[in-house]
Structure 1
Amino acid sequence: MTTTIDAQAPTIPTIPASHESVPAARGIWRGNVHTDLTSRHFEYATGEPEAIGGTDLAPSPMDLFVGGTAGCLAVVVEVVAGELGIAFESLEIDVDGHLGTRGFLGTADVPPNIQVLDVTVRLTTSATEAQVEELKDASSRRCPALGLFRAANLTINEDWFVTAA
């Protein structure tokens, strides 16, 4: 199914420039590396695969982190496209985080976090090449999740594949 996003920015209330958002979550450990979480009115969980003592009943925290990055970038692309008057028919984003487990497991003195992030964006639009470049630059620059990776000096490999609508 293809959904066409019109060239109008989503309706977002006017937010004062000084406004700060404060995302928050609460976690309750349930054992077997499983945690029930609540954010606002949403309930979800994190877990780990059986290979590291989990039950594989929920995505890992790092799965949620890279999934959140894909969702964050999608929101920013939609908002920026609306601001620029760019319509698009489809948007798909894959985010792969390269995480060595040796730091987490304590078997080597290496960082426990993701060191390289591969971001692949597939966009179907009738926008011009110049419009797409502006959309790419602004979206990448304004994405809070990608900003966290940049602030941590991690490598971000970002590839956009654009198909004419």
Structure 2
Amino acid sequence: MTNKPNGIDVAALQQFAKGVAEDASKRSARFNVKTKWEHQTRSVATVSHYALGGVTHQRHFDIAADEPVELLGQNSAPNPQELLMAALNACLTVGYVVNAAAMGITVHSLEIETDGELDLRGFLGLDESVNPGYDEVSYVVRLHTDATRERLEELHQVVTRTSVNLANFSKAIHMKPKLEIVDA
């Protein structure tokens, strides 16, 4: 067996987890995204840094968002709902691949498909009784490994219990909005 199943350095993962468990100063991860409107319904979010255990790490990624033409955009990028689902799927993917590696399971293929339906009356403010967000989101994990069904059920339970974005989807997050008025 390779020392990096699924490309994951399991020894490094275990060392990292041990450090987090033993040292309170290593328990914090902080992420930040700044989004600027470009035009019409298009915006670009920039990731410039994150902090792990109080240490800031620089990096740079741009993430564009736009609406389809039918929703008054130019269809130049995924819309915010698609990005939200992509973020959930990406987080779940990490969970399956990393936890499978830690369990000694080699993943041959993994696909996650997520689906949700919105009632646009809520978003458009046409009916205050209608939730502008999702009432239900479903996802299907298609996983091919050589592991037994029992081991895969165990893996599935670990991932559903520990996925950050699944928790974010499943539980209310206390939001702290603040409006800053910028002078021209």
Distance 1:115 1:81, change over 3 A: same
Aligned with 1:144 (options 164, 170, 179): 164
| Cα shift readout 1:28-71 (whole Å, capped 9, x = no counterpart) | 11121111110130012111111222111111111100011111
Distance 1:7 1:67, change over 3 A: closer
User: Which structure is higher in RCO with an 8 Å CA cutoff and minimum separation 6?
Assistant: 1
Q: Distance in 1 between matches of 2:97 and 2:109?
A: 10
Question: Deviation above 6 Å: which 4+ runs of structure 1?
Answer: none
State the number of aligned residues: 149
Q: Distance in 1 between matches of 2:98 and 2:92?
A: 10
- 5 Å-filtered alignment, 1:92-103, equals 92-103=111-122
Distance 1:108 1:77, change over 3 A: same
Distance 1:35 1:6, change over 3 A: closer
Aligned to 1:135: 155
Aligned to 1:9: 10
The TM-score with structure 1 as length reference comes to 0.82
The RMSD of aligned alpha carbons is: 2.0
The TM-score with structure 2 as length reference comes to 0.74
Distance 1:121 1:34, change over 3 A: same
Q: Distance in 1 between matches of 2:9 and 2:104?
A: 6
Q: CA deviation at 1:91?
A: 0.6
Q: Distance in 1 between matches of 2:84 and 2:20?
A: 28
Aligned to 1:68: 87
Query: Does 1:36 pair with 2:55?
Result: no
Q: Distance in 2 between matches of 1:36 and 1:149?
A: 23
The one-letter amino acid paired with 2:100 is A
Distance 1:10 1:107, change over 3 A: farther
User: Identity of aligned pairs, percent?
Assistant: 32
Q: Distance in 2 between matches of 1:129 and 1:53?
A: 46
Q: Which has the higher helix share?
A: 2
The answer for unaligned runs of 5 or more in structure 2 is 49-59, 173-184
The answer for unaligned runs of 5 or more in structure 1 is 153-165
Bigger CA radius of gyration: 2
